[in-house]
Amino acid sequence: MTRYDGLGEGNTVTIAIYPETAPDGPDRQEATEHDVQGAYTTLVVRPTPDTLLCAEGRLTIDGTRVDLGEPLCI
């Protein structure tokens, strides 16, 4: 996830990716980075070819958490 507001300094970016079938399961990968414009997770392998992967993100602006909407599943 990349933020384009130029407000990375002093704030955080958080991204999570997981199989749609187990949003809180052991394959969930999450990363929170401080003072940056973007964050990345490690690779997640789908358990089956039909399993969708979902991503969700949030960031902070002056300490206020901003959720970026519903998970995107593809």
**Whole-number pLDDT of residue 45:** 87
Per-residue pLDDT of the chain (74 residues; tens, 9 = 90+): 999 999 999 999 999 999 999 999 999 999 999 999 999 998 898 889 999 999 999 999 999 999 999 999 99
Total-model pTM: 0.86
Please give the pLDDT value at position 47.
85
On the CB side of 55, how many CA atoms lie within 13 Å of its CA? Answer: 13
pLDDT at 52: 96
Phi and psi, residue 5, nearest 5°: -90, -5
Nearest to 44 by CA among 31, 34, 57: 31
According to the model, what pLDDT value does residue 43 have? 87
